[in-house]
Amino acid sequence: MARILIIDRDETVRETLGVFSEMLGYEPLYAEDAATCQAIHSSNQSCSAENACAEILLIDQKLQTMTGLEFVERQIQKGCKAATNCKAVMSDALTKQEFMQARQLGCYVLQKPVTYEIFENWLQSISQKKGEKRSQLSEL
């Protein structure tokens, strides 16, 4: 069962997305803020975890200690193994600059409020991309 890390300051949003995740066969992990990620705030230059804590990341843009995009950028810089290609930032309104930054970081952008249908479609698009990559590799 794939794990999905849901980081959002609003407990109701976390719980709702967690229920959606479970309904779709995922194991949700929760965090209120990016500060809970030890690797992001450690003095080490890279993530010390051998395995990914989660295969999918869903993060709110407006957090207490940093924005969701800042978290993803630091995650990449620290060599975090979690959700390297399967991440989305949630926001009710991104600026044009933030939207461009999300694209550069490889993040999907999900408009808040995130409905079950939007959530399911995003997860299906991830599964399809993974399937396409596997198919391309097998052709080599």
pLDDT of 95 above 60: yes
pLDDT of 106 above 60: yes
Instruction: Dump pLDDT digits (tens) for 44-60.
Output: 555 666 677 788 999 99
* Domain range list for the chain: 3-139
Q: What is the pLDDT of residue 1?
A: 81
**Where does the pLDDT of residue 122 fall: very low under 50, low under 70, confident under 90, or very high at 90 and above?**
very high
Strand-pairing partners, residue 31, are 7
- The predicted model scores a pTM of 0.83
In the three-class reduction of DSSP (H, G, I as helix; E, B as strand; rest coil), residue 127 is classed as: helix
pLDDT of 75 above 90: no
pLDDT of 138 above 60: no
Cα 118 to chain centroid distance, Å, stands at 15
- Contact between residue 54 and residue 28 where contact means Cβ atoms under 8 Å apart: no
Domain 3-139: give its CATH code. 3.40.50.2300
The two three-digit tokens of residue 102, written as one number: 């999300």
CA distance linking residue 66 with residue 64, whole number of Å: 6
